């Protein structure tokens, strides 16, 4: 996939494009279906396929003090988009000037003049432009004026199940990671750096890597214990583990923390970036009367995590396609 970072008004694209536009948070199965329509239309038309997305959530520009709870970082989103086999990805810098454009002016200045889009495939629920007030019929009218054919993509609703970034966030907030993973089409993965922790797990024989919560803009699922697969960034090996998200009630914690215990691993992970792939939920977080009681529960949690991971990865192909 050819990826270009662009700003409003920069050098124009000469290649004729079939494109779609959106933030594509999580690049879930609905997004994948939409992009497949773009690729198919591009092949039929003899043009190149493209995705137009943004380098940050529009709400970060439009709403002061907005803290994102994203399904994917920009880097992860681009990696997921590349797997769709779309040929081009244009990453627009989203700022106040871009936010002020009406849908008509965005189509004229960005899609038509700057990117040379000849066909625009629109998701059934997509809205863009200042105040997002226009509808599909308006985009069609603007397109006829600008020489852009606007095509409506049907909703992707397998088994009558709503697939959207909003629905996935709800499932994650309620701890239903298996459902979220099904809608995503892959396991929800958190990426963050390892920072210094509390060392309590090490004392019980369960050393943990503590993830930097403050700098992570991704949504944290409901507090509790999860079976996970873990990898160092830019490596291909995935290791089994379990993760606790919560307030460490046994130790009277006050702030949320994310602690990952890797099975059969010894080494220093401090300062490195981990990818933590959530496979299944084991239990709620709770307070224990003693460290011994907590240690016994952690031993049971490890057994539960291994059972969930055994079930999830029955074959080597499963491990390759969905770590």
The string of pLDDT tens digits covering residues 2-36 is: 999 999 988 777 899 999 999 999 999 999 999 99
User: What is the CATH number for 25?
Assistant: 3.40.50.620
Residues 116 and 71 in one domain: yes
User: Among 160, 191, 225, which residue terminates a domain?
Assistant: 160
Range of the domain at 99: 2-160
173 domain-assigned? no
Backbone angles phi, psi at 288, to 5 degrees: -115, 150
131 domain-assigned? yes
Mean pLDDT of residues grouped by 10 in the chain (323 residues)?
92 89 95 96 97 89 80 94 97 92 94 96 83 86 96 85 92 96 96 80 74 90 96 87 88 81 86 94 90 89 95 64 56
243 domain-assigned? yes
Residues 145 and 96 in one domain: yes
Residues with Cβ within 8 Å of 196's Cβ and at least 6 positions away in sequence, in order, are 210, 270
211 domain-assigned? yes
What pLDDT was estimated at residue 134? 84
What pLDDT was estimated at residue 182? 95
What pLDDT was estimated at residue 320? 45
User: Among 128, 160, 192, which residue terminates a domain?
Assistant: 160
Structure tokens at 45: 């038309």
Q: Which of 149, 145, 126 is nearest to 136 (CA)?
A: 126
Residues 72 and 118 in one domain: yes
Q: Which of 3, 13, 5, 9 is nearest to 97 (CA)?
A: 9
What pLDDT was estimated at residue 204? 61
Residues 113 and 154 in one domain: yes
Residues 153 and 224 in one domain: no
What whole-number distance in Å separates Cα of residue 50 and Cα of residue 114? Answer: 13
Residues 203 and 231 in one domain: yes
What pLDDT was estimated at residue 322? 57
170 domain-assigned? no
Residues 106 and 226 in one domain: no
10 domain-assigned? yes
Q: What is the pTM of this model?
A: 0.90
User: What is the CATH number for 271?
Assistant: 2.40.30.30
What pLDDT was estimated at residue 9? 86
Q: Catalytic annotation on 259?
A: yes
42 domain-assigned? yes
255 domain-assigned? yes
Structural domain tally of the chain?
2
Residues 116 and 232 in one domain: no
Residues 263 and 207 in one domain: yes
Catalytic residue, chosen from 10, 149, 259, 303, is 259
Residues 10 and 151 in one domain: yes
User: Among 160, 191, 206, which residue terminates a domain?
Assistant: 160
Residues 193 and 313 in one domain: yes
Residues 8 and 136 in one domain: yes
In angstroms, how far is CA 291 from the centroid of its own chain? Answer: 36
């Amino acid at each position: 996939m050819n990826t270009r970072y662009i700003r409003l008004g920069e050098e124009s694209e000469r290649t004729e494009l079939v494109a779609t536009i959106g933030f594509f948070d999580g690049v879930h199965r609905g997004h994948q279906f939409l992009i497949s329509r773009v690729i198919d239309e591009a092949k039929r038309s003899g043009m190149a396929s493209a995705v137009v997305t943004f380098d940050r959530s529009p709400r970060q520009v439009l709403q002061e003090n907005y803290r994102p709870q994203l399904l994917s970082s920009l880097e992860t989103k681009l990696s997921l988009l590349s797997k769709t086999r779309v040929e081009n990805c244009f990453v627009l810098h989203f700022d106040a000037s871009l936010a002020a454009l009406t849908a008509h002016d965005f189509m004229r200045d960005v899609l038509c003049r700057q990117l040379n889009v000849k066909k625009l495939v629109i998701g059934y629920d997509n809205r863009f432009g200042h105040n997002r007030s226009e509808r599909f019929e308006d985009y069609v009218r603007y397109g006829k004026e600008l020489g852009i054919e606007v095509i409506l993509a049907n909703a992707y609703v397998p088994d009558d199940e709503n697939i959207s970034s909003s629905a996935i966030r709800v499932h994650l907030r309620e701890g239903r990671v298996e459902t979220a993973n099904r809608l995503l089409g892959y396991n929800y993965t958190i990426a963050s750096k390892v920072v210094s922790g509390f060392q309590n797990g090490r004392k019980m024989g369960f050393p943990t890597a503590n993830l930097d919560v403050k700098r992570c803009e991704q949504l944290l699922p409901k507090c509790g214990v999860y079976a996970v697969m873990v990898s160092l960034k830019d490596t291909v090996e995935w290791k089994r583990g379990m993760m606790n998200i919560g307030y460490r009630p046994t130790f009277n914690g006050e702030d949320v923390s994310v602690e990952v215990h890797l099975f059969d691993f010894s080494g220093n992970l401090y300062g490195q970036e981990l990818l933590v792939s959530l496979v299944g939920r084991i239990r709620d977080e709770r307070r224990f009367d003693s460290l011994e009681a907590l240690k016994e529960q952690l031993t049971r949690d490890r057994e539960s995590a291994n059972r969930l991971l055994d079930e999830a990865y029955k074959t080597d192909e499963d491990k390759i396609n969905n770590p």
